[in-house]
Amino acid sequence: MTLRVGSFFWIPCEVKPGPFSDERLARIADADAEWIGFVATSALQSPIAEGRTALKAVILDVTGSRYLAQPVGHGVDASTFQATLEKVTPLGPVAA
């Protein structure tokens, strides 16, 4: 399945407890990029309190084997994340 701009997908992340019971501190990391932010448990593939899961994100741009995405959450110092397509899992049908 080809990811397109506007489609949602799961991106692997690590989570720790956040300041509220329904919020987590999430970290997405790639070889050359990192995103840290606060996310609602509803945006996680498995709403665990701590450990490895996946975070919902939307594709903003795809260029070759790289993508630019906006994770569903509030980034501490960046609102977007850029990495390679090899680690993403589409979330249902691809949006047009």
Residue ranges making up the domain that contains 37:
8-90
Residues whose CB is less than 8 angstroms from the CB of residue 30 and which lie 6 or more positions away in sequence, other chains included: 81, 82, 83, 84, 87
Number of domains in the chain: 1
Inside any domain, residue 3: no
1 within domain boundaries? no
* Main-chain phi, psi angles of 92, to 5 degrees: 75, -160
pLDDT average, residue stretch 2-20: 91
- Evaluate whether residue 2 is within a structural domain: no
Please give the DSSP secondary-structure letter assigned to residue 65: T
What CA–CA distance (Å, rounded) separates 35 from 94? Answer: 24
* Contact (Cβ atoms closer than 8 angstroms) between residue 44 and residue 54: yes
Residue 92's pLDDT is 59
Q: How far is CA 78 from CA 30, 50, 71, 73, in A?
A: 15, 22, 10, 11
For residue 51, being part of any structural domain is answered with yes
- 63 assigned to some structural domain: yes
Q: By three-state DSSP, how is residue 4 classified?
A: coil
Helices of type H across the chain: none
Region 7-18: what's the mean pLDDT?
Answer: 94
> Does 95 map to a domain?
no
Model confidence pLDDT, tens digit, residues 51-96: 999 999 999 999 988 899 999 999 999 899 998 877 667 765 434 3
pTM comes to 0.84
Percentage, residues of the chain above pLDDT 70: 88
Averaged confidence pLDDT in the chain:
88
